[in-house]
Structure 1
Amino acid sequence: MSNDPIDPQVYDLYDEYCHSDMSRRSFLSRAAALTLAAGSGLIMAQSLLPRYAEAETISFTDNRIKANYVHYDSPGGTSGKMRGYLVQPSGDGPFPAVVVIHENRGLNPYIEDVARRLAVAGFLALAPDGLSPVGGYPGNDDDGKQLQASLDQGKLFTDMLNSAYFVKRHALSTGKLGTTGFCYGGGVVNQLAVTMGGDLNAAAPFYGRPANSQDVPAIQAPLVIHFAEDDPRINAMSADYKAALTANNKDFAMYQYQGTRHGFHNDSTPRFNQQQADLAWERTLDLFQQQLT
């Protein structure tokens, strides 16, 4: 990362912006105030904001998939109802299922694209929108982040759990279920592995908060766990997670990807690392192929 045109101070500020109640205006203002040898902090900060249209890899009109929004019950969740983006491979099925858990800002276009990638790979993919009970993803990450933070987090997790069972029991599903998620969603994936036990067949969290060590014995699904190299907030918790998984003889692989920062799989910002994201995704698909098909 020594040749990275974005100063580490700006990356650190962006991480704080993404994971706190800092507004976009404050983020840009604070970046502009930085004294940097390599250039303007404001320009660097602006370049980190997501550009979803430029990052799409699978079109929603791709003839290899069928995509639509579905509504389903979610007892005990935020409102008792949920909405998700369901993408199936072309054909009649049934297909192994994967639930894709978004970051801390709702169902944005990047996560929808991930669901389409899974469908192209042969999986029935559901990407639930945790914000749907309160109006849905608002069209931008800044408002989405604030809206998600305002929710009862226990009810939000229940909505994600109900979403996992919805796609697992869907008429197009074989009943085999995997899950992947990013940042907040990675933490949810770890908790789904605890909560669902044998009902979950594979889990691939990306730079998410680990499960509590005392809860690890409940995990039955094989795990492929992805961490960034430069991600002190999350990595500080990884050693205890690895120790607990090892002590309880769990089936897992844990990877830290060199030259990466938190969010390295997200191809809508400069944090994206093509080589390492491809490797992590290949390992994720290998897990799902082995455990779900």
Structure 2
Amino acid sequence: MPPVESIDLSSLSAPAGGSSRLTGHLARPEGPGPWPGVVVVHEALGVDDVMLRQVEHLARAGYLALMPDLFTQGGTRRCLIPTMRAALSGTGRAYHDIEAARSHLLALPACTGAVGIIGFCMGGSFALMTAGRGAFQAAAANYGMLPKDLDTLAGACPVVASYGGKDRALKGAATRLRGSLHRHGVVHDVHEYPDAGHSFLNDAEVGPRPLRPLFRVMGMGPHPEAAADAWRRIETFFATHLNAPHTEKAES
């Protein structure tokens, strides 16, 4: 598979109120295409090798996968708090950056015109917040905090979501999300893995090394068995909802 390519999305983000500088990381499937696109939204710790491998995973599954670096403009220290606030408020620069990534995918000749979104941790919150805005054809939220107002999910695109039963910060989130999506008639697949914790889809530990023992005590980190099943569900869900050409391609 071709390596993940770094691209400049600034010309799409800056005029729309997003970051004045925005880097994206794009991976393409092998073969001639065309393929559906997926915007990948990274964890709160930012873009690292683990997140880049998630992009590669989606490309191997047959998707044009593009991850905008939401911390491009100021680094993790300067951007983390405002970006986290944006994830829960539904407004802010990060949403324009995500839209820039979606627009870039739609403009690629190799894109079918169907675009989904997948997020991890903080990115999972963005996936849920954008699901009801009509821009994406499917959303995958992985251990993302729920919107404060679950009624924002009314009219959402199909949602697949995965949570860990040992994730103390998100206790009961899967049940609440499933109930809201059912109540609003949204197609969904929400599952909680009892033995997994936060960030269980990662294939390696992340964060500063001195903090990793603390993360383990908190139940954070890889859980290969849960991750394998979650990826199976995500890929099946995306195959169902992203593999038909979308009319926006002709309009973009």
1:285 aligned to which of 235, 239, 243: 235
- Does the 8 Å contact 2:36/2:111 carry over to 1? yes
Residue 66 of structure 1 deviates from its aligned partner by 4.7
Residue 125 of structure 2 is matched in structure 1 by 187
Residue 245 of structure 1 is matched in structure 2 by 181
**Aligned residue type for 1:124:** L
Partners of 2:42 and 2:117 lie apart in 1 by 11
- Does the 8 Å contact 2:43/2:123 carry over to 1? yes
Q: Which moved more, 1:148-157 or 1:268-277?
A: 148-157
Residue 79 of structure 2 is matched in structure 1 by 148
1:206 aligned to which of 138, 142, 146: 142
Deviation string for 1:170-226 (max 9, x for gaps)?
22211111121110010011111122x2x311111100012331211131x211110
Higher relative contact order (CA 8 A, sep 6+): 2
**Aligned residue type for 1:148:** C
| Length-normalised TM-score, structure 1 | 0.69
Residue 114 of structure 1 is matched in structure 2 by 54
Partners of 1:169 and 1:200 lie apart in 2 by 15
Deviation string for 1:242-276 (max 9, x for gaps)?
22211111100110012111111112126211111
CA RMSD of aligned residues (A): 1.8
Correspondence 1:131 to 2:71: yes
- Does the 8 Å contact 1:96/1:173 carry over to 2? yes
**Aligned residue type for 2:2:** I
Deviation string for 1:134-183 (max 9, x for gaps)?
3x5xxxxxxx3x23325463112321232223223322211111121110
Structure 2 alignment gaps of length 5 or more: 87-91, 206-215, 244-252
Residue 65 of structure 1 is matched in structure 2 by 2
Residue 94 of structure 1 is matched in structure 2 by 34
Residue 235 of structure 1 is matched in structure 2 by 171
Partners of 1:240 and 1:277 lie apart in 2 by 22
1:274 aligned to which of 224, 233, 239: 224
Residue 97 of structure 2 is matched in structure 1 by 159
- The 1:237–1:259 alpha-carbon spacing in structure 2 relative to 1, beyond 3 Å, is closer
- Does the 8 Å contact 1:69/1:83 carry over to 2? yes
Q: Which moved more, 1:156-165 or 1:199-208?
A: 156-165
Structure 1 alignment gaps of length 5 or more: 1-63, 137-143
**Aligned residue type for 2:146:** P
- Does the 8 Å contact 2:4/2:52 carry over to 1? no
Partners of 2:160 and 2:168 lie apart in 1 by 20
Partners of 1:150 and 1:243 lie apart in 2 by 29
1:85 aligned to which of 9, 25, 28: 25
Partners of 1:256 and 1:150 lie apart in 2 by 27
Per the alignment, in what secondary structure is the counterpart of residue 205 of structure 1?
strand
Q: Percent identity?
A: 27
Per the alignment, in what secondary structure is the counterpart of residue 18 of structure 2?
coil
Larger Rg: 1 or 2?
1
Correspondence 1:218 to 2:155: yes
Residue 240 of structure 1 deviates from its aligned partner by 3.2
| Aligned residues between the structures | 217
**Aligned residue type for 2:105:** V
- Does the 8 Å contact 2:41/2:118 carry over to 1? yes
Residue 76 of structure 1 is matched in structure 2 by 17
- Does the 8 Å contact 1:105/1:148 carry over to 2? no
